[in-house]
Amino acid sequence: MSSTIRVGIAGYGNLGRGVQQAIKQNPDMELVAVFTRRDPEELAKVTGVPTARLSDAADYIDQIDVMILCGGSATDLPEQTPELVKLFNTVDSFDTHAKIPEFYEKVNAAALEGGKVGVISTGWDPGLFSMNRLLMQAVLPEGVDYTFWGTGVSQGHSDAIRRVPGVKAGVQYTVPVQEVIERIRSGETPSLTTREKHRRDCFVVAEEGADQEAIRSTIVNMPDYFADYDTTVTFISEAELAAEHSGMPHGGFVIRSAVTGSGSKQIAEFGLKLDSNPEFTASVLIAYARAAIRLSREGASGAKSVFDIPLGYLSPKSGEELRRALL
Amino acid sequence: MSSTIRVGIAGYGNLGRGVQQAIKQNPDMELVAVFTRRDPEELAKVTGVPTARLSDAADYIDQIDVMILCGGSATDLPEQTPELVKLFNTVDSFDTHAKIPEFYEKVNAAALEGGKVGVISTGWDPGLFSMNRLLMQAVLPEGVDYTFWGTGVSQGHSDAIRRVPGVKAGVQYTVPVQEVIERIRSGETPSLTTREKHRRDCFVVAEEGADQEAIRSTIVNMPDYFADYDTTVTFISEAELAAEHSGMPHGGFVIRSAVTGSGSKQIAEFGLKLDSNPEFTASVLIAYARAAIRLSREGASGAKSVFDIPLGYLSPKSGEELRRALL
């Protein structure tokens, strides 16, 4: 890579902070500015780097090679990626699986209009897990694959707990059912219900005097979120919640169990065990930011997914170095 | 893909047979002919398809879209790939890691001369394992990674056993040390000697009256092959060897243990458990044959490795289908 890659961060929640930290681990990257919808002067005290209004991003066109979008998939990214990719090469972690085709089309049109590259839906799922699903299916066409998530915190389910009357605070862990994973690893290809794949463990701080049994019952019977799962509810103190449940671990597995030839069993598995979900997602975004800038320098434009980008583009090393050291 | 991909197989050992079987699992592929240095008429009785002399391959230029090279890395591929890639798009599994840079240069020059694409060094190591090493290092720059092989049959080590005086037949399994893998999975990053990573288990049929203790001692003390490992030697009957040790299982793991942010541990792992090593390698070759033809149809030429090819090119599905179903 000829020169340092100049990065902007749009949005400064857990993911934005993770990107800021990840840039420090990558000497070919340099953080130019953080963009926010909050008060930039106030936020600058936290970021420690130039911090500007997101609406002023256009002023930074000549200073930023790639903008890493760290907003949420529900409302931020559907609006921000198509806008910003007209001005900058972008990378995002849009993760609403069902809406990816529509998102791709919008980002692609805007990126082509701006002559920029927009890498969409990176991270680990969508992202590294998607890549492994594709790879394993392409190599092993006759098989079944399974994706398990966890053990990890689900924000959506934690929010659902916190909306239950009498609940002061709480966190929900998605837990893959280990016995089932072992069956698949040993060659079985079971058809699994939702309940058989994952368990949901809730740690709840109840308000003083609240009816714990009523809370438990409301949670475990909540449609969509918990009713289809085996759910445990454990009541803990606020101190315990802070001490033992403030991390954001996650992870999971993609396993494909297939046959070749006259029935040879072939099993491929990719797994992640993450202490910090946002820091890992941020690290993936950084690697794809490198790819975005390289594609752009080659003259590419439009929306790209992890399926469209050669792995060599993720590395700061040259093709020659990679073949010598890693192939 | 607009039309069926017409495939030739050069070399008909375990790998070539595996490719023939794998083509049957991929409806977008069609086997046109097998090429051999043996007597084509004799071999045709085994292949069941048109079988021709390797030296006559040039006659098939208009009938074959991609030639899958199934010879060995020691002497076949260094000669055959540069010759055949002048005439055909090729895919091979050249696996002498130290000689890959030199091989790449030769194949690249020949492929450019012929205007063809030569995908080199696919399979699982080099191949899928290399891809995972690159991906994990690019995403997690501060870490250590480990590659473990097995449990699986090593041809080189099995050959070494069979050269020992008094040995009639034998097979060697490379076995990863499970305790060490568990330590790494739980977050440790130990420095490991050769002996600590893999064990070597030998199953030997001795000639009648041979000194078993002498055989054992010769094997376990053999430099390069066994002396640096904990090696077990088990004497078995010929019947037992045939019944229980005729398969070609293999597999292994690539694990990267890294930190992000202010010390969050992040562990990524890719693993394979293969009943048939050659059938799996063949399946990878097929997926890269699809990529080779697609690159060629786009106008590309030259040598390519697994690092240079977008994952989407391995699949018969369109970009739109892949985004909808797998991202």
A261, B21 contact by CB (below 8 A): yes
pLDDT (tens digit, 9 = 90+) per residue, A137-186? Answer: 999 999 999 999 999 998 889 999 999 999 999 999 999 999 999 999 99
Check residue A1 and give its pLDDT: 43
Order of strands, sheet of B230-235, starting from the edge strand that comes earlier in the sequence: B152-153, B167-176, B198-206, B230-235
Task: Give the single-character DSSP code of A255.
Answer: E
pLDDT (tens digit, 9 = 90+) per residue, A201-215? Answer: 999 999 999 999 999
CA distance B327 to chain A (A): 5
pLDDT (tens digit, 9 = 90+) per residue, B220-278? Answer: 999 989 999 999 999 999 999 999 999 999 999 999 999 999 899 999 999 999 999 99
- Which chain A positions have a beta carbon within 8 Å of B26's beta carbon? 141
Distances (CA, A) of A131 to A6, A51, B325: 27, 34, 12
- Which chain B positions have a beta carbon within 8 Å of A18's beta carbon? 260-261
In B, minimum Cα distance to A270 occurs at B270
- Beta-carbon separation of A311 and B131 below 8 A: yes
Q: Could you tell me whether strands A167-176 and A198-206 are parallel, antiparallel, or unpaired per DSSP bridges?
A: antiparallel
Task: Give A213's Cβ-side CA count (13 Å radius).
Answer: 0
CA distance A41 to chain B (A): 24
Cα separation of A96 and A104, whole Å? 12
pLDDT (tens digit, 9 = 90+) per residue, A222-238? Answer: 998 999 999 999 999 99
- Beta-carbon separation of B260 and A312 below 8 A: no
- Beta-carbon separation of B314 and A139 below 8 A: yes
CA distance B213 to chain A (A): 36
Closest CA to B199 of B222, B164, B235, B173: B173
- Beta-carbon separation of B274 and A283 below 8 A: no
Option in B132, B280, B315 nearest A134 (CB):
B315
ipTM: 0.95
Provide the β-strand partners of residue A67.
Answer: A8, A90
Alpha helix ranges (H) inside chain A: 14-24, 40-47, 76-84, 100-114, 128-139, 155-162, 178-185, 194-197, 212-220, 238-244, 277-297, 319-325
- Which chain A positions have a beta carbon within 8 Å of B185's beta carbon? 273
Task: Give the list of residues 6+ apart from residue B252 with CB closer than 8 angstroms, or none.
Answer: B124, B125, B129, B147, B148, B149, B150, B152, B176, B271, B272
Q: Is A115 left (phi over 0), alpha (psi -120 to 50) or beta?
A: left
Count other Cβ atoms within 10 Å, centred on residue B87.
17
What is the pTM (predicted TM-score) of this model?
Answer: 0.96
Task: Give the list of residues 6+ apart from residue B250 with CB closer than 8 angstroms, or none.
Answer: B149, B150, B151, B152, B153, B272, B274, B277, B280
Option in A121, A284, A307 nearest B139 (CB):
A284
In B, minimum Cα distance to A26 occurs at B141
B98, B299 contact by CB (below 8 A): no
Task: Give the list of residues 6+ apart from residue B308 with CB closer than 8 angstroms, or none.
Answer: A310, A312, A319
Task: Give the single-character DSSP code of A49.
Answer: S
Option in B126, B290, B312 nearest A308 (CB):
B312
